[in-house]
Amino acid sequence: MQLLIEQSPSYNMANSPLKMIGRKLKFMEAIGGDTLYQLSNSGVNLFSKFFGNSVGLIETRKGRLYQKPKVTKVVSQQLRAGDILLEKTPFRLTDKFIPGHWGHAAIWVGTEQELRTLGIWEHKVVKQYQQQIKQNHLVVEALRPGVEMNSLHKFLNVDDLAILRNSRLNDMELADRIILALRQVGKEYDFNFNVETTDKIVCSELIYVVYTGIKWPTKKALGRFTISPDNVASKVLNNGPLELISLFHNGSLVTDNSSLKMEQLLKID
């Protein structure tokens, strides 16, 4: 996330907002790190939001897993309530400025039947979203408009996909995680990328906030602690708490040693 923050137009705010706007797609030139420390969080949030909303509109094609009924069927059969989804979209400009391989993380809250089995279908939090769940909007994710629930069909506009699972949870613990995930719906997107603030959420922060029992790797970048999707993915390695259930790379299912492939994608020796 440090790269994303450092390359945000927020850096130029103290010098010339108009100049920043005029050069919003030339933000890769080096800018002094001390500038950001002089800005308030609200200022960083405002200009990061402007940057994200501008660049986020650029998509050169659709994902290799998009509108593939066989892929959708396979993935939906593999998914279980509470699973973590990671994706990569190299055809979107925003993907170029996220450190590491993975660009986004989300949580699959599960079907009506799964939530009934877990005994939480009538929970007051779940009841607020029963209609969305019945309409198969089972992916909770933090996007630029905020934390929302979307369908698997929409989510699969990607090239790479990983399904991660915390198999060490009992049913009660899993139910608590799902309720906590649903509590995040409606929150604003965290354009400050700060894991220590929970009133606003960025995509990988969603995993951090929901799976509190996992010791997540974070990095201090420009005065704030951040977590990237790659940090989330790293927990499937070295007998970590997460299990890699399925991995798609460049539009194809990885059938041979997916754990090794994940390690290669993360560039971990």
Structure tokens, 209: 């906030």
Return d(Cα 59, Cα 94) in angstroms, integer: 9
Lowest mean pLDDT among 31-45, 84-98, 185-199: 31-45
Place of tokens 């606003």: 200
- Position 9 scores a pLDDT of 40
Sorted by sequence, the CB contacts under 8 Å of residue 75 that are 6+ apart come out as: 152, 156, 161, 163, 246
CB 136 within 8 A of CB 177: no
- Give the model confidence (pLDDT) of 101-152 as tens digits: 999 999 999 999 999 999 999 999 999 999 999 999 999 999 989 999 999 9
Q: Could you tell me the maximum CA-CA distance found in the chain, to the nearest angstrom? A: 57
**What is the spatial distance between Cα 262 and Cα 101, in angstroms, rounded to a whole number?**
10
Over residues 207-263, the pLDDT tens digits come to 999 999 999 999 887 678 889 999 999 999 999 999 999 999 999 999 999 999 999
CB 247 within 8 A of CB 258: yes
Q: What confidence tens digit (pLDDT) does each residue in 10-32 have?
A: 434 434 443 443 444 343 333 33
Angstrom distance (rounded) from CA 225 to CA 217: 10
Q: Which structural domains are found in the chain, ordered by start?
A: 2-55 (no CATH), 69-266 (3.90.1720.10)
Token pair for 163: 């399904």
Sign of CA dihedral 119, 122, 127, 129: positive
Beta bridge partners of 188: 200
Q: CA–CA distance from 65 to each of 29, 207, 252 (Å)?
A: 34, 23, 8
| Burial (CB count <10 Å: 0-12, 13-18, 19+), residue 42 | exposed
